[in-house]
Amino acid sequence: MENVIRIKTPITTEEVRKLKARDSVLITGEIYTGRDAAHKRLIELLKSGKELPIDLNGQIIYYVGPAPAKPGYASGPAGPTTSYRMDPYAPELLKLGLKGMIGKGTRSKEVIDAMKENGAVYFGAVGGAAALISKSIKKVEVVCYEDLGAEAIHKFYVEDFPAIVVIDSEGNNLYETEPKKYKIK
């Protein structure tokens, strides 16, 4: 990859605002995982006035349910899940300082508006490259909701996790701009 931007977590709003749609990034540091069942539980905690089991300030959540690890590996294949399933929950988490989300597929207007308001970014990870992505995962720890199995919230330590900025903090969106370039006139 040429012109790759290296990111270390946690990330600041200032760092996020420098990222632009189409940037290729390599992420190093701790990131959390979570899918819709875990997101629902987080929002239920917030609604009941309780503290979250994780501090989201400056953090990135990867929408993934990792497969079991083979001997000698920290994680099994770990490809992204479809992000729109987290859209009902994402705006509230962005208000708490979440700075990045990694997944695949489009996001709702409400999520994009919350990203712009709170200085966050949406990264795309390549579906179908789960085995390749898992090579960047060096350590895995279940943080909470172990009863959800692969959908529990995990803390991954990643080195050079490959992603692309799909939607930046200004709302520039590759899902809108790129298809137009290939439209037959």
Residues with a catalytic annotation lie at: 39
- For 184, other C-beta atoms within 10 Å of its C-beta total 3
> What Cα–Cα distance (Å) separates residue 118 from each residue in 10, 97, 170, 174, 183?
15, 7, 10, 20, 33
Q: How far apart are CA 165 and CA 3, in angstroms?
A: 13
Q: How far apart are CA 105 and CA 122, in angstroms?
A: 10
- For 120, other C-beta atoms within 10 Å of its C-beta total 27
CB 167 within 8 A of CB 112: yes
- Biggest CA–CA distance in the chain, Å, is 54
Indicate the SS3 state at residue 1.
coil
